[in-house]
Chain A
Amino acid sequence: MGTKYDVLINEGLVNGADILKSSKYDTSLGLNMAEDARRLSDGLISEEEFVSKYQESVSKEFNQKLEVHASEGSHDNVKWGMVIDLRKCVGCETCTVSCKAENRTPPGVSYNQVFIEEEGTFPNVSRTNIPRPCMHCDKPPCASVCPVRATYKADNGIVVQDADRCIGCRYCMVACPYGARTFDFGENYDEMLGYEEVTSPEHGMDRGKRKEGKAPVGTVRKCNFCFHRLERGEEPACVETCIGDARYFGDLNDPESTVSKLANSSRAFRLKEEYGTEPRVYYLR
């Protein structure tokens, strides 16, 4: 029952059971697996539980082996890196916006920006858009100046900012040649409902509500390569949302990965290489 819209929608809805019945495989197994897959993605059950529950029936029914995706679960020996193709970048700032949305950054805090450089005079004009996340340098000047080791180079290549240790001296901001660090002055988007519900999810831990005077307010903040998303096997928000597919993300330790190959191409360069910071973000000119 209901309005005619409800009727229309209900008619349009596809019944999973009906579709599965038309295949030659077991319908109830398909429905159960779909159900548990949803619970898995919601984090209610672990991947190991899912695999042990269905391993037997999957090999019987599909003649395939179901196993825990080890390479996604543990990121041992990974050095994350990014490649940004400047020919593909249209300068739309989707990365900037999706980063703000994903990481719930307050006003004035932006982990990613897009710099637009126009050169020449009409009609000989060129325009380059340079998106700038944190470079996650191999030799990060921010980490070497930090008096309390609140920012450091993690084994996976990410330059981490410890919001619980940072004293807010802002030495790292002065020392970063890329302007990739911002200070959290404690401002809020008052007009946005629910904005304060989550604080800096990029640290991969639940910090609860954003409150006045509570860290990360009063500390320096920076891009974390969306570490919380990497842990879930997802790409950073800026990579996933890029409308021109200009960003690539992956393991620079793996010579076969897309990012490694692109980083070795003749088009690749890095920002301000003369500083010796060895950025892990490459650009393709």
Chain B
Amino acid sequence: MSQSAMLKESNDTHSNQTLAKRFKIWMAVLIVSMIAGGGAILYRVIEGLAVTNLSTFVPWGAWVAFYIFFVGLSAGAFLLSTLIFVFGMEQYERVGRFALFTALICMVVALTFILLDLGRMDRAFNAMMYWNVLSILSWEVRFYLIYMVLLATELWFAMRIDLIKLAKDKSAGLKGKLANVIRLGSSDTSEISAKKDHRWMKILGIIGIPIAIIGVHGGTGTLFAAVAAQPYWNTPLFPIIFVVSALVSGTALLIAMYVIQRKVRGKSVDLTMIKGLAVLMIFFLIIDLTLEFYEFLVAGLSMKPDKMAVLDVMFTGPMSWSFWGVQIFLGAVVPIYLVFSKRTNQSVKALTIAAVLVVIGIIGVRFNIVVPTQIVQSMKGLPEGFYFPNWVEWLSSLGVVAMGLFLYSLGARFLPLETQEGEVKGHE
């Protein structure tokens, strides 16, 4: 919230001092959130999952929803970066490194969420030690790690020359020292080596596309879709919807992050690029909505009672506001209007609001994937489930998200993520 407040007063030029002050306030807010969230996490670690609203009847809740949300953000951000580094869409170049870094941080956040959700956090490494080839989840764990290594490597190639420049720059201070460590001894800044970097980024991007689509996010969708006992998930369209909604949220997040960062630093925003990205986001969103529409339509028309029961919970249950209000109205109707209306689509602010709303809408999508199907019990005699996260789950989630933003802010501060103005040029 403090972010948007900062945004408002950003049009005037700022001295380095106010910038440093803002950064301090921002970091302080994050640290306070992390301490509060850390308290809730500590409470959960000591007392176990009993302190959450999870139950035997609704075993998966907010943390699982946030986990798939952040995996989706990561996959979406990465796929957007491939538009730049693989498909050569240079108009988006400015967000390229941010996209990679965001993707990496989102994975860290996602894995933290799923760690919190484990009944026995002390056995988390069992997931690496033992492998069940039939279990998608078992594959996912490995894909996540491969994917994170790939992201880090690609990001390194993207930053390499800037790291070397920074390391040589005596006035860069801590940033320079860090760059000196991260450059890993590399010192070649020639044109040829830059070309090589781009080649590597392209290769890694090409390898990364199937890993991100099939392995990481399609796989996460399959993790749900493969469960025959949950008829709502059990459709082949489900993993595809996962990937498309990842593209939606990833694009939206990058728009929001880019604009907010630039504004806070008092720098100009590339409106043409923002408009392009916003249209791209709405394009993905409309595909996403279409797929979901058919998912619901086919389920409804085929009148399968167990699917109808889940749709009934989602559309008319006590939590249906999260579907109609968050997922449809805030997450789709308003952003589509903001991006297409002639009155608003020239305004950076309106487009940013649209992007933020889309991100929030996708949180609703993730919750509506995880929760409603569990409300409907597998056996008729079991008690009706209800789930809404309690304060422990909310507060710990706040803490984990704050951790992600903290890491991101540190990265944005100390790593050369910003592409220099002159640098934007074609590869190949």
Contact = CB atoms under 8 A, between A and B. Distances in A.
Contact of B59 (A148, A183, A275): A183
B138 to A, nearest CB: 4
A169 B381 contact: no
Given A117-B380, A146-B132, A168-B118, A173 B138 contact: no
A55 to B, nearest CB: 47
Interface string A126-166: 00001010000000010011111110000000000000011
Given A169-B119, A174-B60, A185-B50, A117 B137 contact: no
Interface size class of A (residues with CB under 8 A): 35 or more
Contacts of A201: none
B6 interface: no
Interface string B349-385: 0000000000000000000000000100111111000
Interface in A193-224: 212-213, 215, 217-220
A141 B229 contact: yes
A187 to B, nearest CB: 6
Contact of A113 (B49, B141, B374, B381): B381
Interface of B is mostly: loop
A149 B130 contact: yes
Contact of B120 (A130, A144, A219): A219
A167 interface: yes
Given A147-B138, A168-B118, A175 B229 contact: yes
B393 interface: no
Interface stretch (B121-129, B187-195, B268-276, B415-423): B121-129
Contacts of A176: 229, 378
B378 A147 contact: no
Given A170-B60, A174-B60, A178-B379, A147 B229 contact: no
Contacts of A145: 134-137, 226-227
A189 interface: no
A16 interface: no
Contact of B379 (A132, A212, A215): A132
Contact of B141 (A147, A177, A184): A147
Nearest to A271: B379
Contact of B229 (A184, A213, A275): A275
- Contact residues on B (Cβ < 8 Å of other chain), bracket: 35 or more
A184 to B, nearest CB: 8
Contacts of A150: 126, 130
A173 B117 CA distance: 14
Contacts of B47: 186
A30 interface: no
Nearest to B50: A185
With a 10 A CB-CB cut-off, give which of A109, A179, A182 has the most chain B CB atoms: A179
Contacts of B59: 170, 173-174, 183
A144 B135 contact: yes
Nearest to B117: A169
B222 to A, nearest CB: 11
A25 interface: no
B132 A147 contact: yes
A277 B129 CA distance: 28
B230 interface: yes
Contact of A130 (B57, B114, B136, B381): B381
B398 to A, nearest CB: 23
B56 interface: yes
Contact of B127 (A130, A148, A183, A186): A148
Contacts of A29: none
Contacts of A217: 48
- With most chain B CB atoms within 10 A of its CB, the pick from A150, A166, A169, A176 is A169
A9 B208 CA distance: 83
B60 A115 contact: no
Interface in A210-255: 212-213, 215, 217-220
Given A174-B229, A187-B50, A115 B130 contact: no
A116 interface: yes
Listed from nearest, the 8 A-B pairs whose CB atoms lie closest are A168-B119, A115-B381, A177-B229, A218-B119, A170-B59, A147-B138, A185-B50, A147-B137
Interface of B: 47-50, 54-57, 59-60, 114, 117-120, 123-124, 126-127, 129-132, 134-138, 141, 223, 226-230, 374, 377-382
5 contacts: A141-B229, A150-B130, A166-B120, A185-B49, A186-B50
